[in-house]
């Protein structure tokens, strides 16, 4: 039987949570590469909060996905067929495969991943891929943490947040993580070595920050925005640094969250707030991957993944990022590693 390329195509702009009916499941022949192109078979598909932004009508740092197109997504895959001298069949690569089994891409759009290291394949898609890079440069390049400073991280038990907090510990900070369940808070303290945690769903964030950060907040790594950003802004120190990584509290809402009430503190405290996109740092990927890989192998950095089986589950699985049910980096297993 001829193998087909299974795809999810975006057919309508989601309102609120993503629905399966926002997509069309299509099966078509596997494409063949031309000169300078490579056919990639996807093993793991990364589901990211940014996917939800790309589904909207308006462009962001990337153009909106065109209705009818295959949904955009980052994947880790194996080269099935190469018409470019830089890649051979069997190479492990990271690239924008999209929500489908196979993609033909120009060779220049692929990153070759070294094989044979004592690192699980899923770690390449997260810790040593765009997630690790986001945490590494978003924290170190933007906030320059110093020993003894107080660092607060939101969505702390998620893919980016959990790495940020651990790097903060490596750099000698006092780290407070904000997350949405007692289980996540327990994991942050007991497994990752965070100093303190706040369950924002059951505790009053501003009150708890006051109790847990008696010296005020020097650094905030923001993955969330909204009310949590506001609670932190109310308690920042002079010369505080805020790395604006994500605003997930607003990705699914129909009207934007109101601006932070405590915004004037940025002025009064001579604070810095800086946004960034991980692609700003792609040219410096090597340094981050080397350092993160070293910390991971030395056991100083832990990374957990939440693997959902089957491409067919992508449209509903992505909502785990918004209801908080993902336990680590959310990934779809498209094919078995050994297939």
Ligand X SMILES: NC(=O)c1ccc[n+]([C@@H]2O[C@H](COP(=O)([O-])OP(=O)(O)OC[C@H]3O[C@@H](n4cnc5c(N)ncnc54)[C@H](OP(=O)(O)O)[C@@H]3O)[C@@H](O)[C@H]2O)c1
Does the protein bind ligand X through residue 249 (CB under 6 A)?
Answer: yes
- CB under 6 A: which stretch of 32-40, 78-86, 156-164, 203-211 binds ligand X? 156-164
Binds ligand X (CB under 6 A): choice among 158, 260, 293, 315: 158
Supply the minimum distance, in Å, between the C-beta of residue 34 and ligand X. 32
Binds ligand X (CB under 6 A): choice among 159, 176, 285, 301: 159
Does the protein bind ligand X through residue 224 (CB under 6 A)?
Answer: yes
Binds ligand X (CB under 6 A): choice among 38, 50, 209, 332: 50
Phi and psi of 120, rounded to 5°? -60, 150
Supply the minimum distance, in Å, between the C-beta of residue 183 and ligand X. 9
Measured from the CB atom, is 80 or 252 closer to ligand X? 252
Does the protein bind ligand X through residue 308 (CB under 6 A)?
Answer: no
Q: How far is CA 148 from CA 215, 216, 218, 222, 236, in A?
A: 10, 12, 10, 20, 15
d(C-alpha 221, C-alpha 198), whole Å: 15
d(C-alpha 282, C-alpha 94), whole Å: 13
d(C-alpha 151, C-alpha 47), whole Å: 27
Kindly state the number of chain residues that form the binding site for ligand X, as judged by CB under 6 A: 28
Ranges assigned E (strand) in the chain: 4-10, 23-29, 37-46, 75-82, 92-95, 102-106, 111-113, 150-153, 174-179, 196-199, 217-222, 236-244, 272-275, 305-309, 329-333
Supply the minimum distance, in Å, between the C-beta of residue 258 and ligand X. 14
Does the protein bind ligand X through residue 166 (CB under 6 A)?
Answer: no
Binds ligand X (CB under 6 A): choice among 45, 70, 157, 232: 157
Binds ligand X (CB under 6 A): choice among 277, 300, 304, 335: 277
Measured from the CB atom, is 53 or 92 closer to ligand X? 53
List the alpha helices (DSSP H) in the chain: 49-54, 121-125, 130-143, 159-170, 182-190, 205-212, 226-233, 264-268, 285-297, 314-317, 320-323
Does the protein bind ligand X through residue 42 (CB under 6 A)?
Answer: no
Measured from the CB atom, is 82 or 122 closer to ligand X? 122
d(C-alpha 19, C-alpha 318), whole Å: 10
- Judged by CB under 6 A, the chain residues 61 through 80 that form the site for ligand X are none
* DSSP assignment letter at 257: P
Binds ligand X (CB under 6 A): choice among 181, 189, 210, 333: 181
- CB under 6 A: which stretch of 16-24, 48-56, 210-218, 264-272 binds ligand X? 48-56
Q: Are 165 and 177 in contact (CB under 8 A)?
A: yes
Paired with 175 in beta bridges are 151
Measured from the CB atom, is 49 or 293 closer to ligand X? 49
Paired with 178 in beta bridges are 198
Does the protein bind ligand X through residue 100 (CB under 6 A)?
Answer: no
Question: Which residues here bind ligand X, judged by CB under 6 A?
Answer: 48-50, 134, 155, 157-161, 179-181, 184, 223-224, 245-246, 248-249, 276-278, 321-322, 324, 326, 329
């Amino acid at each position: 039987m001829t193998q087909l390329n299974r795809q999810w195509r975006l057919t309508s702009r989601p309102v609120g949570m993503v629905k399966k009916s926002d997509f069309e499941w299509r099966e078509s022949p596997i494409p063949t590469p031309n000169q300078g192109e490579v056919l990639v078979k996807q093993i793991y598909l990364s589901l990211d909060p940014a996917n939800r932004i790309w589904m909207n009508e308006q462009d962001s740092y990337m153009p909106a996905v065109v209705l009818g197109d295959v949904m955009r997504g980052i994947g880790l895959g194996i080269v099935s067929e190469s018409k470019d001298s830089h890649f051979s069949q069997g190479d492990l690569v990271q690239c924008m495969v999209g929500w489908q089994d196979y993609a033909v891409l120009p060779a220049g759009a692929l990153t070759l991943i070294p094989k044979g290291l004592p690192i699980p394949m899923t770690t390449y898609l997260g810790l040593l891929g765009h997630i690790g890079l986001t945490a590494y440069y978003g924290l170190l390049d933007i906030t320059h943490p110093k020993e003894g400073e107080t660092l607060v991280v939101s969505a702390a038990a998620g893919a980016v947040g959990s790495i940020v907090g651990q790097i903060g510990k490596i750099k000698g900070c006092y780290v407070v993580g904000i997350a949405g369940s007692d289980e996540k808070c327990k994991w942050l303290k007991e497994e990752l070595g965070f100093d303190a945690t706040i369950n924002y769903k059951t505790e009053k964030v501003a009150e708890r920050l006051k109790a847990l950060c008696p010296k005020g907040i020097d650094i905030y790594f923001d993955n969330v925005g909204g009310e949590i950003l506001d609670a932190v802004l109310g308690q920042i120190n002079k010369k505080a640094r805020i790395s604006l990584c994500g605003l997930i509290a607003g990705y699914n809402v129909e009207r934007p969250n109101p601006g932070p009430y405590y915004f004037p503190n940025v002025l009064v405290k001579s604070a810095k707030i800086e946004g960034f996109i991980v692609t700003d740092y792609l040219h410096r990927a090597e340094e981050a991957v080397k350092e993160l890989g070293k910390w991971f192998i030395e056991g100083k950095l832990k990374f957990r993944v939440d693997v959902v089986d089957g491409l067919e589950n992508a449209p509903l699985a992505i909502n785990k990022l918004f209801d908080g049910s993902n336990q680590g980096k959310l990934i779809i297993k498209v094919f078995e590693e050994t297939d």
